[in-house]
Amino acid sequence: MAEMKQQRQAPGSRPKANARPGGPAGKMMPGEKAGDFKKTMKTLIRYLAVYKIRLIIVFLFTIGSTLFSVISPTILGSATDVVVKGLLSGGMDYGALLYILMILLALYVATLLFGVVQGWLMADISQNVIYTLREKMSDKLDRLPLKYFDTMTHGEIQSRMINDIETVNQSLSASLTQMITSFITIVGILVMMIRISLIMTAMAVLVIPLSMLVIRVVVARSQGYFKNQQAFLGSVNGHVEEMYTGHDIIKAFNREDESEKVFNEYNDKLYESAWKSQFLSSLMMPLTGFIGNLSYVAVCLLGGFLAIKGTISIGNIQAFIQYVRSFNHPIQQVANVVNQLQSTAAAAERIFELIEAEEEVGIGQEPEQEVELEDVKGHVYFDHVSFGYKEDEPVLKDFSFHAYPGQTVAIVGPTGAGKTTLVKLLMRFYEINKGAIYVDGYDITKLSRENLRSMFGMVLQETWLNNSSIRENIRYGCPEATDEEVEAAGKAAYIDHFVRALPQGYDMPINEEATNLSQGQKQLITIARAILSDAPIMILDEATSSVDTRTEVMIQQAMDNLTKGRTSFVIAHRLSTIRNADHILVMDHGNIVEQGSHEELLAADGFYANLYNSQFAES
């Protein structure tokens, strides 16, 4: 199996020049509103619609729980009237009082049970939706082209996978049922209040338009800040991860102050947007509470006046006052839920941006005339290939050449000549603009990516090892390989002797940044991994550029074992490592300027000879 995982970001590297908070959606400025609130919420509802049966049950149980809660004050008011009547008449009806209290207790128990059931169901629904979103995001990351990662920092992607998902999770698990409860409570209480006194109800509901106006104003101001908060959180996460992975480089170059300066800039932006969003959201409760208190005072005064006139009982006044208090509370809850929905929409929008991002051409839609190559010979042909990361800036221009089975083709040239780009096109990490690439006579666009990439083994300059044992890192090239096959690959890569000298041998765990191994040892492990994959075509990209001369000799011997009998593409700056190549391509500015064997190119005394002689001038 080809090693297809993306390489880790170079330690200490800075964010890409075109990377930006908010990713493809563009840079967010304080106060900017979310892109499309309605579209985002409709998309989120589609994910919830899968569980419509459970949602209906939740809805019914929420209605039941809320109605029982709404009816309770009226029952309690009846108990109060029985007590008042008994005190005034001198004879208490304990049977009637006990009957009312038993009904009240039954309502409280039913409210509890219904609330527990709907809470359990809603937690299950929300976790299923979040599980689906996480799964879709993870699958999407495997299907995105490399150009997507060129415009996104690691922290930005992590922020969407962790922070944004958690924001949506909290909203689904609490806000949805709270919204239903609040709406039903408002309607139910309104009905019960009208039943007691229409004039007192009219006095109480005057608070609604004013509260809605306050909510509308606050939401309009806070929506953009919630969007910015999520975006800048991704920037902070990306910078922190970058500084952690490159902490040794930062210290070596005395760049701690610059790193702290960049962090403070991101942190200041996050602080500004988070402070404003949280402050504005916190205004809703006290503002709606203040308006509710004014209504509460007015109702108390009016109720007292009506009681004196004898048009309403004391028990009904008690029940009505409870309803007024309860009436203001769901309005405040609605305000909080609406505010929470702004944060949820901002987070969900960023999640859906990732899920709906443009995928690699053909991913999930294999070619109509799909061909599965099994017995690959390794004949590779670039037929007039042109490519540019930007259409108006070509990197390869009308590029053609043959690599025959079993041949070692070295690719050399100055930085930016297009050497690594050539390999990326061969693996279909990018799609070519013009021309075609053939493997054993088949256009690679007619092959599935899985089939194509299974033909290649790769050893890159930046070694990638995961946080597991040496054995499992070698086995990454062939998951079904036995321990004996893994160790045989280790011997072929000349790592067996040093691995067995380690405390746990092949089972020694590699730490997170693989700092418990030298650069040369890590490189040899990746070569062992490629040997174990037993792919018919090998790609070696600057595999010896970052090691000492002695280790280079060892790596070169391992590479000889790796390339034996296979078509191999070797990208190298050290021309001493490719003197024995069967064919050498000399590239400059996206063109093949020379090609031939080492001796032929030296005899031509051209571009290659100048490169070679400049490296060995002292010798």
Q: Catalogue all structural domains in the chain, each as residue range(s) with its CATH number.
A: 36-355 (1.20.1560.10), 369-455+537-619 (3.40.50.300)
pLDDT (mean) for 322-329: 73
Whether the CB-CB separation of 228 and 30 falls below 8 Å is answered with: yes
Cα 124 from Cα 133, distance rounded (Å): 14
245 vs 85: CA distance, rounded Å: 77
Q: What is the mean pLDDT of residues 328-337?
A: 72
Of 125 and 297, the structure prediction assigns the larger pLDDT to 125
37-44: long-range contacts at Cβ-Cβ below 8 A with a sequence spacing of 24 or more? 37/223, 37/342, 37/345, 40/345, 40/348, 40/349, 40/352, 41/341, 41/345, 41/348, 43/348, 43/352, 44/168, 44/344, 44/348
76 pLDDT band (50/70/90 cuts)? confident
The residue-averaged pLDDT of 271-282 equals 78
Q: Could you tell me which residue, 326 or 601, shows the higher pLDDT?
A: 601
- Which region holds residue 397: left if phi is over 0, alpha if psi is between -120 and 50, else beta? beta
Backbone phi, then psi, for 360, in 5-degree steps?
Answer: -60, 140
Count of all residues that appear for the chain in the document: 619
Which 3 state secondary structure label does DSSP give 466? Answer: coil
Chain position carrying tokens 């499309």:
36
Q: What is the pLDDT of residue 28?
A: 37
Q: Quick one: what percent of the chain has pLDDT higher than 90?
A: 2
> Which distant-in-sequence residues (6+ apart) come within 8 Å of 555 by Cβ?
520, 523, 524, 527, 543, 544, 547
pLDDT band of 2, cuts 50, 70, 90: very low
Q: In the beta sheet, which residues pair with residue 591?
A: 588
Average of per-residue pLDDT values in the chain: 77
Residue 507 has pLDDT above 60, yes or no: yes
- Rounded to whole angstroms, the Cα distance separating 558 from 556 reads 5
Nearest-angstrom CA–CA distance, 88 and 567: 105
Residue type, 88: L
3-state DSSP helix/strand/coil % of the chain, to nearest 5: 65, 10, 25
Mean pLDDT of 276-283: 76
Cβ atoms of residues 537 and 568 within 8 Å: yes
What is the strand order of the sheet 442-443 is part of? 396-403, 380-387, 434-439, 442-443
Query: Has residue 615 got a pLDDT over 60?
Result: yes
User: How large is the average pLDDT for residues 183-204?
Assistant: 80
The predicted pLDDT at position 248 comes to 63
Question: Quick one: what percent of the chain has pLDDT higher than 70?
Answer: 85
pLDDT given at position 549: 63
Torsion (CA) 220, 224, 227, 231 in degrees, nearest 10: -170
Confidence band (pLDDT; 50, 70, 90) for 23? very low
- Per-residue pLDDT reduced to its tens digit, 599-610: 888 888 888 888
Amino acid at 314: I
Catalogue the E-assigned strands of 294-360: none
Contact call for residues 324 and 70 (beta carbons, < 8 A): no
Beta strand 408-412 with 396-403 is: unpaired
> Of 4-18, 432-446, 452-466, 482-496, which gets the smallest average pLDDT?
4-18
Distance CA 134, CA 119 (A): 22
The pLDDT assigned to 437 comes to 92
Report the amino acid identity of residue 453.
R
Reported as type and span, the H/E element at residue 464 is none
CB 270 within 8 A of CB 229: yes
- 97-147: pLDDT as tens digits: 888 888 888 888 888 888 888 888 888 888 899 999 998 888 888 778 777
The label of the residue with tokens 């970058």 reads 242
HSE of 78, CA atoms in CB hemisphere, 13 A: 13
- Interstrand relation of 434-439 and 408-412 (parallel, antiparallel or unpaired): unpaired
Strand ranges, E, within 473-596: 537-541, 567-571, 583-588, 591-596
The CA-based angle 289-291-292, given to 5 degrees, is 60
For residue 363, the model assigns a pLDDT of 46
pLDDT band at 328 (very low <50, low <70, confident <90, very high): low
pLDDT attached to residue 82: 77
Q: How far apart are CA 564 and CA 561, in angstroms?
A: 5
> Residue 289 in contact with residue 211, Cβ under 8 Å?
no
Q: Is the dihedral of CA 387, 391, 394, 400 positive or negative?
A: positive
Residue 392 has pLDDT above 80, yes or no: no
For CA atoms 190, 192, 198, 199, the dihedral sign is negative
Specify which of 22-26, 272-276, 307-311 reaches the highest per-range mean pLDDT: 272-276
Amino acid sitting at position 420: T
Query: How far is residue 400's CA from residue 406's CA, in Å, rounded to a whole number?
Result: 19
Please list the residues that pair with 438 across neighbouring strands: 381, 443
User: Of the spans 35-44, 159-168, 270-279, 336-345, which averages the highest pLDDT?
Assistant: 159-168
Residue 268 identity (one-letter amino acid): D
How far apart are alpha carbons 324 and 174 in whole angstroms? 24
pLDDT at 33: 42
pLDDT, residue 25, reads 35
Segment 213-269, tens digit of pLDDT: 777 777 777 767 777 777 777 777 777 777 766 666 676 667 778 778 888 888 888
Enumerate residues 6+ apart whose C-beta is below 8 A from 447.
367, 370, 371, 372, 373, 439
- Using DSSP's 3-state secondary structure scheme, residue 181 falls into helix
Whether the Cβ atoms of residue 426 and residue 438 lie closer than 8 Å to each other: no
Give the pairing type, strands 567-571 and 537-541.
parallel
Name the H helices within 504-597: 519-533, 549-563
Instruction: Encode pLDDT of 420-441 as tens digits.
Output: 788 888 888 888 888 999 998 8
Residues paired with residue 541 on neighbouring β-strands, in sequence order: 460, 571
Greatest Cα-to-Cα distance within the chain, rounded to the nearest angstrom: 126
Q: How many CA atoms lie within 13 A of 65 on its CB side?
A: 21
Strand 408-412: give its sheet, edge to edge: 456-460, 537-541, 567-571, 408-412, 583-588, 591-596
